[in-house]
Amino acid sequence: MMQNRRDTSGTRFFIETYGCQMNKYDSELISRILIDHGYTQASNADEADILIINTCSVREHAEQRVLGRIGVMAAWKRLNEKRRLIITGCMAQRLGETLIAIPHVDGVAGPDQYRLLPGLVNSKLTLTQARMLRQTHTEDYSDIKPNRETGISGWVAISRGCNNFCSYCIVPYVRGRERSRPFNGILDEVRNMANSGFQEVTLLGQNVNTYRDGATDFPRLLTEIAEKTNIKRIRFMTSHPRDLSLELLEVMGAYDSICPHIHLPVQAGSDSVLERMNRGYTRNHYLYLVEAARKRIPNAALTTDVMVGFPGETEKDFLETVNLMETVRFDDAFTYRYSSRPGTKAAEMAGQVEENEKSRRLQYLINIQRRITLQKRKSMIGSVVEVLPEISSKYSTREWMGRTPTDHVVVFPKNRLERGVPVPVRIDECRGATLRGSPVISPMA
């Protein structure tokens, strides 16, 4: 029997997003899928009939935060029997059956199941159905135009999933095998973004350096986007040190529109730890890449992810990480305490480090990086940098907050300058960790 599509007009949804940029991008995809099925976006959970919590599994703490949030949402659901609570993302993939067993959870969908969401919001999944929420290993959502937020800066996923199986990491298990999106679709998407006023694109993948569609590898993709679209700024993340090529560095150095910033997670400074992490490079190779990048890309900014307390990490190993941080002097670093993830190889390794010791190492590393970050930011005082004004600063509606091509955040007076139009700004001071400046009237050289 033929069925008419259910009338969803007037049903409002709201998405809360946890985790990385890829999850934020996925929330924009989910939003588009629901809008295309007649739902409308609410501005907060209180106004919504459907609440989607898009979750992260990367560390235990991330999962606990979400479980706490789901608990609180029992009261939200009780206020209206028509309300629906749906859990999406990496945690939905990892813990689907546990989550669907929570009485006020109405549906779960892992990262490859978002096309099913319009159907899911109207029916509670059975455990058998939840079990069927398997990765497809092929879904790339390449035909779906994300419902982007800012109008100035947007994300484009160039690949999904990951094949690297770093021994500590849950991502390959919850996001499935790496698949690259077709090159033409990416080019069209960036071109359309530029034509509709976007200034900046960030290409996303767990390891962008292994992107490939036929003969198009990542350096080629960047070259084509730089040459064949009008987008002003091109960023990308994440680069894996094992796969970052000299060719990529050359391409970065050759085009002004490719931002001189590389996020290059090192994870550890000790070869034995890197080996047990299954990272596929040595400390020396990493230092070689840093030198090569700095030689080829003027003013290159480097940021990293680093972890302390990996199983078997000795004090000597840890001090090698400290030494690497002091040697490279990153512009910024995301520092993490190792968190054991069930099902990963590292979770089974001997020599799990005590939580107290992990905390001590983390604090030590944070202090070192804070000092370096501050020194590097202070060295920018007096220089003139290009800033793309994005949003009002959190301190004052009379100030813009924007980013430099090196991804430094700068706050400056609005002076009737337009949002989304890059402006030269002289850096005047570094207050706390925030760079503050004044717009320069004369055009940049």
Do 202 and 189 form a contact (C-beta atoms < 8 A)? no
Span from 6-14, 116-124, 161-169, 190-198 in contact with ligand SF4 (CB under 6 A): 161-169
CA–CA separation, 135 vs 279, rounded Å?
24
CA–CA separation, 13 vs 152, rounded Å?
24
Among 209, 321, 339, 369, binds ligand SAM (CB under 6 A): 339
Contact between 88 and ligand F3S by CB under 6 A: the answer reads no
Nearer to ligand F3S, 205 or 439 (CB): 205
Q: Mask 5-24, x = binds ligand F3S (CB under 6 A)?
A: --------------xx-xx-
Span from 118-126, 168-176, 255-263, 266-274 in contact with ligand F3S (CB under 6 A): 168-176
Strands (E), 161-300: 179-180, 200-204, 212-213, 216-217, 233-237, 261-263
Burial of 190 (0-12, 13-18, 19+ CB in 10 A): buried
Nearer to ligand F3S, 278 or 392 (CB): 278
Residue 339 contact partner, candidates ligand SAM, ligand SF4, ligand F3S, none, CB within 5 to 8 A by sort of partner: ligand SAM
CA distances from 212 to 157, 201, 303 (A): 13, 19, 24
CB count within 10 Å of CB 110 equals 25
Among 265, 389, 405, 439, binds ligand SAM (CB under 6 A): 265
DSSP strand pairing (399-403 vs 384-392)? antiparallel
Do 236 and 303 form a contact (C-beta atoms < 8 A)? no
Contact between 338 and ligand SAM by CB under 6 A: the answer reads yes
* Closest listed residue to residue 161, CA positions, set 218, 200, 109, 110: 110
Span from 118-126, 190-198, 334-342, 426-434 in contact with ligand SAM (CB under 6 A): 334-342
Residue 333 contact partner, candidates ligand SF4, ligand SAM, ligand F3S, none, CB within 5 to 8 A by sort of partner: none
Helix (H) / strand (E) element for 402: namely strand 399-403
Do 265 and 58 form a contact (C-beta atoms < 8 A)? no
Among 148, 240, 276, 436, binds ligand SF4 (CB under 6 A): 240
Span from 110-118, 151-159, 336-344, 425-433 in contact with ligand SAM (CB under 6 A): 336-344
Contact between 206 and ligand SAM by CB under 6 A: the answer reads yes
Contact between 162 and ligand SF4 by CB under 6 A: the answer reads yes
Chain residues that interact with ligand SF4, rule: CB under 6 A: 162, 164-166, 169, 171-172, 206-207, 240
Chain residues that interact with ligand F3S, rule: CB under 6 A: 19-20, 22-23, 56-58, 89-90, 170-171, 174-175
